[in-house]
Structure formats: structure tokens, C-alpha cells
Amino acid sequence: MEVVSIAVSSPVFRISGSKLHDCFVVPVRKKRTIIHTKFVSSSTNDFSNRYSLNRKIRAIHLDEVAADQPECLTGLVKDVDWPSPSDEIPFWKRKFHTHDVPNPEIPVNIEKDSDLVHVIHVTAEMAPIAKVGGLGDVVTGLARACLLRGHKVDIMLPFYECIQKDNIQGLSLISTYNSYHDGNWIQTNAYSGLVSDIPVIFIEPMNQFFKGEDVYGGSYNELEAYLFFSRACLEWMQVTGTEPDIIHVHEWQTGALPLLYWDMYCYLSLQKSRIVLTIHNMEHYGECRQEQLNKCGLDGSLYATIDKAIDDRTIGHNPERLSLLKGAIVYSNSVVTVSPTYLKETLCSGWLASALLTNRDKYHGILNGIDTVMWNPASVAFLPANYHAHNTDGKEVCKQYLQRGFGLAFEGRVPLVVCISRLVAQKGLHLIKHAISHIEKYGGQMIVLGKAPDGRIQSEFEALANLHNKGSTIRILLMYSEELSHMLYAAADMVLVPSIYEPCGLAQMIGMRYGSVPIVRKTGGLADTVFDMDDQSQPEMANGFVFEGVDESSLSQALDRALTYYKEKPIEWTDIVQKIMQIDNSWNRTASKYIDVYSSIRVR
Ligand code: ADP
């Protein structure tokens, strides 16, 4: 027999058809009452029983009680210290201790691989210490998944000035050496440390590179800094005699490394390593003039051919330009992009399609995963209440916590939609703006968390924020905050990803893990991970709301379907929330495909 305690604000209720064996009511405060229910179950681990009881209680809770008495939720967690917009410290910066939510998630017993590889990722981003977008998440998640399978993994990262050193465990200087840049040898320090249990080597040149408050956009020449970094990583491997099986490069920033490896370092002392390139976003192709490439010690003129690194669109122009991404496609042993649909899209359109078609045999589409250690609503310390798929009560607390913290109305069962995104054209800016007004008219709530690298876009959204942020339904927050993003995913009923194109997209997967139903445009990785609730052809896959057009009315229809479903079918909605939280979008599921790629090219 198990006792379930739940706080509601009225003792007058009925649970029909439930397995309740006994029920008694204990008034604890003026308006609040604790109802202890007992239900008979053969074992306390009988989740299906507990589950259905929970659901019934929640339905009553939402329909009959919470609708006009939201403070009843306070009883679901101990001592919630509700925030308010006038708090001196913004509520998402508070330190929460994790709550005692017994997590029934069975720890995945990851089998160790027998054929082990040593991989070094060379990357411009790593979550959470140097993250701007999905690249940082992917590097950390993939590295952890491979480590768990027994492989040796290191990450090489610029030692950005903005990295908070207290997030690195055991930081220590491991070597000082010189690396080439533009006719000089720059003194460079290499440090090692652990970030979220993953070994990282930080490269710090003794010049102005990587100084500034942010990962990108410092007052140094970014192209030159990453050319330097690409070579400095190889130089470090050479001076320390480190020869991993795989050097895994990401995006244009490290695109010069495969050229440097095959045309320079393999004539020096590095020979064993093979190179994998992951393209996270084809839009950023690393434009580079020949004389700029010279700065890392290569002869730029040798790469200005169609079968090497020339940007095909600039042929015959003055000057013709190179693309570091194209060079990396040609020079890497394997090229991966981040979803099967984006692979198809990139073979059919865009100027890099011909280079990819030429290299089709080594080009793979592997869906990203998410790091379920970092993104875990049952344990993450950024939430006022933790929860999991079998007990989502904490999610209700997170929602009300956020609503109170932002001064949003928290009475009644109001749908809350969030959009967490870099504010760039790719993300469907006109659709995000349209969603704000559409949801406001509907009477829902929406929170946008984003940062625009382009000053004009930032100003447009600032104007929108000024217009909306004083009311009680919309908040537009123009900043980057990892902590707040966790809180938003947890508090939301729906997460909006209306991208014009999206190589993979993590927001929809993180949203699902946190029980927020995705509303997405059908493109790239969004098409590979979100399946429409009304698609009768595969109802078992249904996990969100999908639209195809890039116009506002296509989005409106999807929003309306989602909002109506939320309003009219609260019990089914709870079922979807629980269903999507259990979908396995983790790296544990997809890392093996990367391992296969590594194994297929490594030298034995
Ligand atoms: P992209 O890589 O194009 O930015 P993804 O969906 O692959 O898009 O990954 C975005 C990642 O960045 C997600 O983890 C998302 O939560 C995070 N993110 C985006 N903007 C912000 C922000 N302003 N504050 C916090 N996290 C953000």
C-alpha cells in the first residue's frame, strides 16, 4: 500500500473510477488542504498504477482546482521561495539545490566498445563553458557518449578570455610552445582540465587572439585567430608526440586543419591520425582570401582550384576567394552533417552541393543527440523543482515560478510557449514575431530568449520588447543565459522552432526532454525528429505540431492546433508530455554511428 500526498485548495472533489482505497483530508493552512490518498498496489514500483492515479489527480487538480486557485501547487514541493520581478537577483540566477524526486529513469547500462579509438575534437565551442549555439552542445554530448563507451576523447578549445575558470576542474599548464602566425612564432600555452568530466586542452596564444567578453566578436581578426588555432593544435600534437586515431574538426573555424595536416604536418611527424569534419551549418563557409591563408603558413595560391578550396561563386572575380569549409570537405577523410534530411537538402541546393556530390562516398548524415546528463529535468540544479516523465508535478511548479518571476499572470491554465534561439534570419524571425502577436491575441503567454549578432535585428527585437514586456503575457529577453534556458524549457507547455532551415536543431529535442511539446517547421533535422499529432499515417510517432510553409498563416494554423489541443484536451496533453519526455534523443542512441565512421577510416 502506498500513500500519496497532494495539496489542493478545496476538499470537495471526487475521483471517479480510480484505484483509491481510502482518502482523507487534512486542512493545513487557511486555503490549502492536504489530501492523503492510499491506493492498493502490489508493489510500490508499480508505476502504471501510480501513474494512472497521478494522472487522475492531476486532471482534477488542473480542471477543478488549479484553474482558480493556482497557489495549490505550492504544496507539491517543499518551501518554494516564489520570486517576483522586483527581486534584486534575477530568479534564474538563484542557486537551487536539487530536490528529492526519485528518478525512475533506469540508468543506461552503456556497453563498452571493444575496438577503442582516441579522438581529439578541435572546436571553437564547447558547452557549457564556451557555447553560443548547438555546436557547443554537440561537441560535449558526443564526447561524453564516446567516453562512456570506453573511447579516449579530448577536446581542444581556444582559451577564450570569457571562459569562467571556476567551471574547469584541475586546470593546469601542461606545455608552453611556439606556434606559427604570419611570419612569427607566437608563444602559446596549453592547459588541461576537466569540464563536466570531459578532458579539455585549452590553447592560449600570448597575443590578442580570443580576448573579449564573448566567444565570438572580439576586437581581433576572427579568421586569423582560427587559422592560428587550427595550426596551434597540430603543432601541440607534434611537440608533445600526440597522435590520436581521429582528429575531429567542426565548422569553418577549424576547416584549415585538414589542409595543414595533409600538406604540412604529415610531412613533419604526424601520420597516424585521420580527419573527420562535422558540418553543423553550411551557411558559414569560412570565406578566406589566398593571402589570408598564407598567414598560417600554407601557400594560399595552391588551393584556388575548383577541386580544392575555391568558392565556386567567385571564379573570375577579383579577388577570387577560398572557402575553408570547402577545403575541409575535400581534405577530410570523412564528412558528417547533422541530420539525414539536411544531408539530402545540402546535396540538392547551395553552392557547396557540387563539392559534396563529388565527395558523396565519404559524406554521412548522422542525427545529433542531446546530452542527457546536462539536460536532465530530474537532476539539473537550475530548476526550483525537479521532475521526470513519471511525475511531472515539478514542471507545474517551474511554470508558476517563471510566471511569478517575470510578473506574468499565473491564474488559470494558460498555455506558455517559449522560443530559445539565436536571432538570425535562419531561425524564421518574421515567424517568431508573428507568433508573439498571435499568441497574445489568443490569450496565451510567450517568452523569447535570444541574442542577435546583427545590431539591426537586435534593435528590432528591443523595440518589440519595449512594446510587450510591460504587459502580463509576453516577455522578450535579449541575452544569453544557460540557466534561464533550462528554466524556460521546464516551464513551457510548448517550444517553438519555426526555422527557415535547420541542419538539426536541438531546441525541439531539449524541449521534449523537458516535457514541452514542439511546434516546428518541417525542415532539416526538425523533420527527422518531430512528427505531427494529426498525421494519421504514423500515430505512434506523433510528438508535436508541424507546419511546412514559410508564411505566417502556416504557422498560425499549427499554433492554433496546438493551443486548441492544450485547452480542450488536458488529459491527452498530459499524456503527450509524458510520452515526449521518454523519447530517446540522447547521444547514447546515435554515437555508435560516429564510432562506425571513426572505425572505418582509422589506421590500424
Ligand atoms: P543553433 O546551433 O543554430 O544555434 P540549435 O537548436 O542546434 O541551434 O542549438 C541551439 C542551442 O543554443 C540550444 O541548446 C539552445 O537552448 C541554445 N540557445 C540559443 N540561444 C540561447 C540563448 N539566448 N540563451 C541560452 N541558450 C540559448
Position 307, amino acid: D
Tell me the three state secondary structure of residue 531: coil
Q: The whole model's pTM is what?
A: 0.86
In the reported structure, the alpha carbon of residue 451 is separated from the centroid of ligand 1 by a whole-number distance in angstroms of 10
Q: Which residues line ligand 1 (CB under 6 A)?
A: 133-135, 137, 420-422, 449-451, 480-482, 485, 504-507, 510
Instruction: Indicate the average pLDDT of the chain.
Output: 88
Which residue's alpha carbon is at the smallest distance from atom 22 of ligand 1?
480
Closest CA to 142 of 159, 167, 163, 125: 125
Element (H, E) at 341: helix 340-348
Candidate from 342, 380, 420 with most ligand 1 atoms within 8 A of CB, to mutate: 420
Q: Which tens digits make up the pLDDT trace of 16-47? A: 333 333 333 333 333 333 343 333 333 333 33
Position 256, amino acid: A
- Residue 603 dihedral angles phi and psi, to the nearest 5°: -95, 130
Candidate from 142, 476, 485, 516 with most ligand 1 atoms within 8 A of CB, to mutate: 485
In the reported structure, the alpha carbon of residue 568 is separated from the centroid of ligand 1 by a whole-number distance in angstroms of 31
Res 108: pLDDT: 62
In the reported structure, the alpha carbon of residue 522 is separated from the centroid of ligand 1 by a whole-number distance in angstroms of 18
Q: Which residues, in sequence order, are CB contacts of 476 under 8 Å at separation 6+?
A: 436, 447, 448, 461, 464, 465, 468, 469
157, HSE (Cβ side, Cα atoms, 13 Å): 28
Q: How far apart are CA 573 and CA 583, in angstroms?
A: 16
In the reported structure, the alpha carbon of residue 440 is separated from the centroid of ligand 1 by a whole-number distance in angstroms of 24
Which ligand 1 atom is nearest residue 451's CA? 23
Res 79: pLDDT: 75
141 with 370: CB under 8 angstroms? Answer: yes
In the reported structure, the alpha carbon of residue 501 is separated from the centroid of ligand 1 by a whole-number distance in angstroms of 15
In the reported structure, the alpha carbon of residue 133 is separated from the centroid of ligand 1 by a whole-number distance in angstroms of 4
Write out residues in the chain with pLDDT < 70, as ranges.
Answer: 1-78, 97-108
Sheet holding 2-8, edge to edge: 2-8, 33-39, 20-27
Closest CA to 64 of 19, 20, 9: 9
CB atoms within 10 A of CB 507: 27
Which residue's alpha carbon is at the smallest distance from atom 9 of ligand 1?
134
| Beta partners for residue 185, in sequence order | 180
Candidate from 506, 514, 530 with most ligand 1 atoms within 8 A of CB, to mutate: 506
Q: Which tens digits make up the pLDDT trace of 367-379? A: 999 999 999 999 9
Res 382: pLDDT: 95
Closest CA to 258 of 286, 218, 222, 220: 286
In the reported structure, the alpha carbon of residue 249 is separated from the centroid of ligand 1 by a whole-number distance in angstroms of 20
Res 57: pLDDT: 37
**Cell numbers found for residue 159:** 582559451
Q: How far apart are CA 272 and CA 278, in angstroms?
A: 20
Largest CA distance in the chain: 84
Which residue's alpha carbon is at the smallest distance from atom 8 of ligand 1?
134
In the reported structure, the alpha carbon of residue 421 is separated from the centroid of ligand 1 by a whole-number distance in angstroms of 5
Candidate from 137, 338, 475 with most ligand 1 atoms within 8 A of CB, to mutate: 137
